[in-house]
Amino acid sequence: MPAGFAPDHPRADLLKIKGLTGGFPEIPKGLFHKPELADWLVKHGKAMAPLVIWLHRNVG
């Protein structure tokens, strides 16, 4: 448990986590060298945006 938090904190399980990752699914075969890759990246970037915004606001 991080310092300053009670052992029975309602979010104790989350407070013990030491890292967080997020990522895109594997790029479909044949898409890497096509112009459509840009659309694929934008689509998945937009899907990840709420997590990035939340982390920026709440974690710093």
Contact (CB, 8 A) for 27 and 16: no
Long-range contacts of 41-46 (CB under 8 A, 24+ apart): none
Using the predicted structure, report yes or no on whether residue 59 has a pLDDT greater than 80.
no
Q: What's the CA gap between 58 and 24, in Å, rounded? A: 22
**Global confidence as pTM:** 0.64
pLDDT over threshold 90, residue 55: no
Closest by CA position to 59, among listed 27, 20, 26, 25: 20
* Higher per-residue confidence, 33 vs 59: 33
Q: pLDDT tens for residues 1-51? A: 889 999 999 988 988 888 888 888 999 999 999 999 999 999 999 999 999
Please report which confidence band the pLDDT of residue 60 belongs to, taking 50, 70 and 90 as the band edges. Answer: low
